[in-house]
Chains A and B, each alone.
Chain A
């Protein structure tokens, strides 16, 4: 087993214990199994994410209009789409940061945010939602590191406060995670003393500290300078084969093609098409997907290569621009949908 896999392993279930733990996870009173359990040789287990008929409205505006999606355990899913297509909202719905208006989302069969009794969905109280979230890590576009804490404190905060892990243990794990993202020497640095790329890598380590079954990335490189993007993508790439389920909202088309098992293209609150990258990115079936991909590619190429060159993608839909740009294809700097 790779050292990475053992680092990310959520719990230490022997086969006999596995079912016990699975049932314990649905019991709110049970301690999270990851706290204090000794290391074992079981491979890390990704969570199964199921999304059924999810709608979400903000007032009049319906941002999600019936999303159905199944993400297999350990699979890497890239969600593409224009600004306002609802992809960030979908991601935030998975860990209940954004409660859905209707529909169901579950991780490993456990409904997120609600307890289903018969035909009724009883809203969970906050401590139970928080417990569910410890199994679902999230990395934000704007990093959101705790500004008054060092990198190490940022990483140990959640294990210590949410899972009650002892300080010594949390710090040891945090140092391993910092090494994993290549920032061992930055343990005592404050976020403001780090570059954007370094901050995002700390944020990834922070999300990993809870040994989540599912990791959500909300445009992890959109707030970064082009030359810092690759260091973050490299870290995500290294996680992709470690067994955790990854859901990545991104504008990095070439990265998505590289790393994703499934690419989902969203537009106006619906999934337009989904499938392996070879299909969705290289041979999209829908016109909407084609225009989006083309716009992202032609729009990004001049921005990263030649600042003086003609930068009007609408005026120049060059067929030669099929080759993906080496760095950041970005449409808009922000996509808060």
Chain B
């Protein structure tokens, strides 16, 4: 197709007639011109090819024959993608159909959804869900960080303990862990905390008094989360170039600062996307706590539809709230990831908000209103 390739392959082959000079110039990017000129120079036919290039501007000409006026005339025509447009229309129609059925099917009972959405019991359940998420997330990622650092310890005992923890808590179902914690009182009737060989006792009480559904839920979710968080934090730490640690120790920077100021901030870039996955999973995962009859969002919804029999609309209430939380978290994720990508990319792309502002900023009439 391209004239430059023809010149490369066989100097003697005729070029397709009717090839416009403009098209030839377009098809031969500027970068290829030197090689097109140099390559035939090693062959006996070089002089021949060069000679023809001078006499015949069309066909096998090298780029050298393009005049300045010609260059100024050249325009780029963007390639068309008809398939892309067809696909976009199809997907758009499909989305509209789904949306339409959501809105028009009376069985969704949007009125009931609206009625219960801000109901006091639902909001109380929602707050309980958020509290569980925050506490279990804090336990999970706090302990996960410790476990990850332990796992990277040169002491095989310390790293072994961390490995065993992850092994146990990743291989038992979350439901079983929750029920085990809640029924700890059956296994150990009293919990006593004191200093051995003395009479000093700090805590002494019946396990069933201590182990509220809330505590069992936080322990179950948190420890389970910690096992996963440990692995993903460790993965992030391993992704940081060893040279960073080496440079830091060569500079005499203490171990604690090496971990917290040099390695972790860089590991964050690898950790964050998966970590937010986990946190979003945790928000919805808290619904499993209904087995402990703890009145978080999902259990509250169950209680209500048990009474009113409006099962689907009540599930929608919970679902929409989960969507809201997840959306807020996703926005947070965007900005936090952006923060930690400092230095990892040459220039940060503008945020959607900045892009919006830039677009409206171009119109002087709207510039004042947008700002």
Q: A148 and B340 in contact (CB under 8 A), knowing A157-B261, A193-B346?
A: yes
Contact with A along B323-356 (1 / 0, CB 8 A): 0000000000000000010111111000000000
B236 CB to nearest chain A CB (Å): 13
Q: Which one of B90-98, B241-249, B294-302 contacts A?
A: B241-249
Give the CA-CA distance A178 to B261 in the complex, in Å. 22
In the assembled complex, how far is the CB of residue A95 from the closest CB belonging to chain B, in whole angstroms?
6
- B283: shortest Cβ distance to chain A, in Å? 29
Residues of B within 8 A of A190 (CB): 342-343
Nearest B residue to A146 by beta-carbon distance? Answer: B262
In the bound complex, do residue B344 and residue A206 qualify as a contact, i.e. CB atoms below 8 Å apart? no
Please, which residues of chain B bring their CB within 8 A of the CB of A137?
250-251
* B243-267 contacts to A (CB < 8 Å): 243-244, 246-255, 257, 261-262, 265-266
- B248 partner residues in chain A, CB cutoff 8 A: 146, 157
Query: Which residues 18-36 of A sit at the B interface, judged by CB distance below 8 A?
Result: none
B247→A162 contact, CB < 8 A: no
| A45 interface residue per 8 A CB criterion | no
Measured between C-beta atoms, what is the minimum distance from A124 to chain B in Å?
13
A278–B345 alpha-carbon span in the complex (Å):
46
**Interface flag for A149 (CB, 8 Å):** yes
A41 to B261, CA, bound (A): 36
Q: Which of A126, A149, A157, A191 contacts B251 (CB under 8 A)?
A: A157
Contacts A140-B246, A144-B243, A146-B262 given: A162-B343 contact, CB under 8 Å? no
B residues less than 8 Å from A234 (CB atoms): none
Complex CA gap A130/B243 in Å reads 17
Which of A144, A149, A158 lies in contact with B252, CB distance below 8 A?
A158
Whether B254 lies near A127 (C-beta < 8 A) is: yes
Give the interface residue-count category, chain A. 20 to 34
Task: Report how far A149 CA is from B343 CA in the complex, Å.
Answer: 7
Give complex CA distance A74, B324 in Å.
Answer: 66
How distant is the Cα of A137 from the Cα of B246 in the complex, in angstroms? 12
For the complex, give the distance between the alpha carbons of A301 and B37 in Å: 25
Nearest chain B CB to A157's CB is how many angstroms away? Answer: 7
Q: Min CB distance, B260 to chain A, in Å? A: 10
> Which of A130, A191, A192 contacts B254 (CB under 8 A)?
A130
- Is A239 an interface position by the 8 A CB rule? no
Does A270 reach chain B (CB closer than 8 Å)?
A: no
Q: Cβ of B251: which chain A residues have Cβ within 8 Å of it?
A: 133-134, 137-138, 157-158, 162, 206-207, 210
Residue among B243, B249, B250, B342 with the highest chain A CB neighbour number at 10 A: B250
Q: Chain A residue with minimal CB distance to B268?
A: A148
Q: Does A131 contact B (CB under 8 A)?
A: yes
Task: Tell me, in angstroms, the Cα distance from A326 to B351 when the chains sit together.
Answer: 47
Instruction: Tell whether A40 is near chain B: CB-to-CB under 8 Å.
Output: no
Question: In the bound complex, do residue B266 and residue A148 qualify as a contact, i.e. CB atoms below 8 Å apart?
Answer: yes
Contact A97 B266 (CB under 8 A): no
CA distance A147 to B244 in the complex (A): 8
Alpha-carbon gap, A145 to B251, bound state (A):
11
From the candidates B244, B250, B262, B344, name the one contacting A138 in the complex (CB within 8 A).
B250
A158 to B258, CA, bound (A): 10
- Report yes or no: A148 in contact with B265, Cβ–Cβ below 8 A: yes
Nearest Cβ on chain B to A196's Cβ, whole angstroms: 14
Please pick, from A157, A161, A191, A206, the residue contacting B343 in the complex, using a CB distance under 8 A: A191
Q: Considering the chains assembled together, what is the distance between the CA atoms of A132 and B249 in angstroms?
A: 11
Cβ of A142 within 8 Å of any chain B Cβ, yes or no, is yes
B-contacting residues, A177-204, CB 8 Å:
190-193
The reply to whether B253 and A158 contact each other, CB–CB distance below 8 Å, is yes
Q: Give the contacting residue for A133; candidates B243, B250, B346; CB below 8 A.
A: B250
A97 with B249: CB separation less than 8 A: yes
Q: Chain B residue with minimal CB distance to A218?
A: B250
CB-defined contacts of B250 to chain A, threshold 8 Å: 95, 97, 133, 136-138, 140
Instruction: Chain A residues near B241: list those with CB within 8 A.
Output: 144
Measuring CB to CB, which residues of chain A are less than 8 angstroms from any residue of chain B?
95, 97, 126-127, 130-134, 136-138, 140, 142, 144-150, 157-158, 161-163, 190-193, 206-207, 210
* CB pairs A–B below 8 angstroms (30 shown): A97-B246, A132-B252, A133-B249, A133-B250, A133-B251, A133-B252, A134-B251, A134-B252, A136-B250, A138-B250, A140-B246, A144-B241, A146-B247, A146-B248, A146-B266, A147-B266, A148-B265, A148-B342, A157-B251, A157-B261, A157-B262, A158-B253, A161-B253, A161-B257, A161-B261, A162-B252, A163-B252, A191-B343, A207-B251, A210-B252
Q: Given A144-B243, A148-B343, A158-B253, list of 5 further CB < 8 A pairs? A: A134-B251, A140-B246, A145-B247, A162-B254, A190-B343
